[in-house]
Structure 1
Amino acid sequence: MKTVEVRVPDIGDFRDVEVIELMVAAGEKIARDQSLVLVESDKASMEIPSPQAGIVREMKVRLGDRISEGSLLLLLDVEDDGEAAADVGDVPDNGKKAGMEMQWREDAVSVVSPLSQDNGLRHAVDDTKAARAQGALPHASPSVRKYARELGVDLRHVRGTGPKERIMKTDVQGYVRALLNREGSPNRFDNVMNLPPWPSLDFSQYGETELQPLSRIKKISGPNLHRNWVMIPHVTQYEQADVTELEAFRKSVNGRYRQEDIQLTVLAFVVKACVAALKKYPEFNASLDATGENLILKRYYHIGFATDTAQGLVVPVIRDADRKGVIQIAREMTQLSSLAREGKLNPSDMQGASFTITSLGSIGGTYFTPLINAPEVAIVGLSRITTQPVWDGEQFRPRLILPLSLSYDHRVIDGVQGVRFATYLAKVLSDMKETLL
């Protein structure tokens, strides 16, 4: 019997993911590939498996700990059969793995939102924060620092409630709430935006109520959605695509591939059509840089598609959609959607999208305003296909019409570009060729 270290394997670009469940305990006998801990990253939960069978000697993490690739999870007693035991996620001494440099440095927060400049909002809510040494780096994880930068919060003015006064995400949120609710301050956000205070009511006085906590995914995505809606000037362009021929073609292809258990959906064709539109109008396949003064044009086409799960929406990504046929795209969408519903998506499955599609067609509706998934600059929404009478120059004929809702960042894309992209996308969908397969 010998003791080996079990470490966090490669989990993509995510760092400081939170341990939300311990699935084994000291003294427990475990099997190879048995789940050890459940961790939560942005919009996903992941189970980390054991590399081999053995008996847990000692747990090295606790609930609430933040871990990254290479972090020590536990000590495992295994049979000494002369075979070298491979640690999970071994990180070479030079700090690099598979050509990817691991960056652990915690940079100081220096970005402040325009609202907080010269108007007193950088002052502490609690006067004791003024005692923090000037220039000293607050104790916070990289994810919390990034979150603070997005909100324009100076962490030197935030009191940490974590171990050793470590600043948690909830501390940043509490600081912002305190600023918003400060009575008598001429610099409150509601005064800047001329908004009345948020209503606070005891709803139980009107009848029976029930308190229902938000799901983890909604708690994580909610602040991001709020940020995107407030910070991005959304414009939504509506268009209609005649998909009569496309639908007939889709059904014939499904019949052809029925034995291979492949189910083509309209969404798979829309992915391919979006790639064609993005190639023609590359400013839609881009992001603003941190200064907001330059546009980063992307030469790859990774298409995200919103997927509904019991915990909320997640966005898996079809990578290099320009290099794949519709059949392959449909197959990958089926696999990723299944993993999403089971809560088994890896962080890498949801990273790197350059454009996103969200579809409500299976539910209903006509048009809606999809929220842009920052740092992307556009998103397209699909509603239910309906049969409508269309004039062909001689008479009205029944045609299948797909409503499209294109939201775009007006800082990057003007109205003319938005109309051109939407109409071109509708044109492509109206005339899809079999060569797309």
Structure 2
Amino acid sequence: MAEINKVQVPDIGGFKGVTVIEVAVKAGDTVEVEQTLITVETDKATMDVPAPFAGVVKEMKIKVGDKVSEGDLIALIEGGAAVAKAAAPVAAPQAAVTAPVVAPQAAAVVAPVAASPVIAAPTGGSAHASPSIRRFARELGVNLTKVGGSGEKGRVTKEDVQNFVKQSLAQPAAATGGGALPGLLPWPDVDFARFGEIESKPLSRIKKISGANLHRNWVMIPHVTQFEEADISEMEAFRKELGAEYAKQNLKITPLAFMLKACAITLKHFPDFNASLDTSGENLVLKKYIHIGVAVDTPNGLMVPVIRDVDKKGIVQLAKELGEVSAKARDLKITAADMQGGCFSISSLGGLGGT
């Protein structure tokens, strides 16, 4: 009789209690190695959990809507030797849809149109929305748990989020002077020490006082982007020379590798920019590591994998890792852990001539 093996939820980037949004197989199905068993959804991505070995599904232990964490039992599969470590989940195609840009006239009042009834926003727990809608809401600073859903079974749609923003902007500002959009998402409690050494430094009184005003201004006032020109003739000559040297190894040396290095040097020189506020708002968490995210345009949207310890690596090593993470993202083999821990992000326009 063939052995029956357990399939458990693998490492999903430290997330706990993620929602199962799809079960791709059922009892009696024959599965191959790396075939998707279930799809789970976090606030950041949708991830497929693949089968670590082939065989016949004897029993599924979870269903759509269940909350799962690392180590939870997914299924029992007969046949095929279990691998020592379950395969890591990969980001599903729909996980990285780029949030649409909100046009300036979005706040204008529009005539009401016939629509599906809106189900009241949940009083607690998580909202029922797709990854693209969650990203859209995060870009606007909207807490989805406060938005009523007009979609099937109360699912929150893009129009629901837009209507929520319009209604919020139409409301008069509070007497306290806090003009920020209501329903802002709570600041995530991130354990930065997971990614490297850190130091906690108390904020000065001025920084504490100015923080609330700066936050209000960020939400309410349009921003200006500053451009400066720099002569990189010598750098470009060196890049081409280096590129020719490594061309035989199929290694492409791009300007982005130099940008990574320049940002790392800058962050080290100005440590307050390589920092985050803790959840109390009383301390600045100074990161002793420099991990930089790089935006990658994939066929299914934007992903930002993180290159770690940029300050400790040379141009050639950075160029190599850039190629590796870009290919991994485009092939949709990127994991949640690959996109965590970044201190700073770069979006390079490449052939368009800007960064």
Give the shorter-chain TM-score range. Answer: 0.5 to 0.7
Say if 1:245 and 1:86 are closer, same or farther in 2 by CA, change over 3 A. Answer: closer
Amino acid at match of 1:302: H
The match for 2:167 is 181
Q: Rg bigger for which structure?
A: 1
Say if 1:327 and 1:87 are closer, same or farther in 2 by CA, change over 3 A. Answer: closer
The match for 2:71 is 70
Contact 1:288/1:296, CA 8 A, preserved across alignment? yes
Identity %: 44
The match for 1:318 is 307
- Report 1:330-369 matches (<5 A): 330-364=319-353
| Aligned mates of 1:326, 1:184 — CA distance in 2 | 51
Question: Which one of 273, 276, 285 corresponds to residue 284 of structure 1?
Answer: 273
Say if 1:169 and 1:17 are closer, same or farther in 2 by CA, change over 3 A. Answer: farther
- Report 1:35-434 matches (<5 A): 35-78=36-79, 88=86, 138-140=124-126, 170=156, 177=163, 181=167, 230=219, 236-364=225-353, 382=355
Give how far 1:330 is off: 0.8
Amino acid at match of 1:263: K
Q: Deviations over 1:295-318 (max 9, x none)?
A: 221110001111112222211111
Tell me whether 1:34 sits opposite 2:50 in the alignment. Answer: no
Q: Deviations over 1:63-109 (max 9, x none)?
A: 45443312322221236xxx7876849xxxxxxxxxxxxxxxxxxxx
| Aligned mates of 1:236, 1:288 — CA distance in 2 | 23
Say if 1:169 and 1:240 are closer, same or farther in 2 by CA, change over 3 A. Answer: farther
Say if 1:306 and 1:87 are closer, same or farther in 2 by CA, change over 3 A. Answer: closer
Aligned residues: 278
TM-score by length of 2: 0.63
Contact 2:179/2:220, CA 8 A, preserved across alignment? no
Say if 1:78 and 1:255 are closer, same or farther in 2 by CA, change over 3 A. Answer: same
Say if 1:247 and 1:186 are closer, same or farther in 2 by CA, change over 3 A. Answer: closer
| Aligned mates of 1:30, 1:62 — CA distance in 2 | 18
The match for 1:8 is 9
| Aligned mates of 2:276, 2:168 — CA distance in 1 | 36
**SS at structure 2 position matched to 1:313:** strand
Contact 2:8/2:86, CA 8 A, preserved across alignment? yes
Amino acid at match of 1:77: E
Give how far 1:265 is off: 0.2
Contact 1:44/1:343, CA 8 A, preserved across alignment? no
| Aligned mates of 2:166, 2:242 — CA distance in 1 | 56
| Aligned mates of 1:269, 1:240 — CA distance in 2 | 16
TM-score by length of 1: 0.52
Contact 1:285/1:354, CA 8 A, preserved across alignment? yes
Give how far 1:240 is off: 1.2
Q: Deviations over 1:384-411 (max 9, x none)?
A: xxxxxxxxxxxxxxxxxxxxxxxxxxxx
Say if 1:179 and 1:326 are closer, same or farther in 2 by CA, change over 3 A. Answer: closer
Contact 1:45/1:343, CA 8 A, preserved across alignment? no
| Aligned mates of 1:231, 1:14 — CA distance in 2 | 32
Contact 1:4/1:87, CA 8 A, preserved across alignment? no
Give how far 1:9 is off: 0.5
| Aligned mates of 2:16, 2:294 — CA distance in 1 | 24
Q: Deviations over 1:25-60 (max 9, x none)?
A: 321222334332344445544332222222101223
Amino acid at match of 2:58: R
| Aligned mates of 2:260, 2:85 — CA distance in 1 | 39
Contact 1:304/1:318, CA 8 A, preserved across alignment? yes
Q: Which ranges in structure 1 are unaligned for 5 or more consecutive residues?
A: 90-125, 196-226, 366-381, 383-437
Amino acid at match of 2:252: Q
Contact 1:271/1:303, CA 8 A, preserved across alignment? yes
| Aligned mates of 1:194, 1:41 — CA distance in 2 | 26
Q: Deviations over 1:222-255 (max 9, x none)?
A: xxxxx99627985533211211111111111111
The match for 1:416 is none
Q: Which ranges in structure 2 are unaligned for 5 or more consecutive residues?
A: 88-117, 132-136, 182-215
**SS at structure 2 position matched to 1:13:** coil
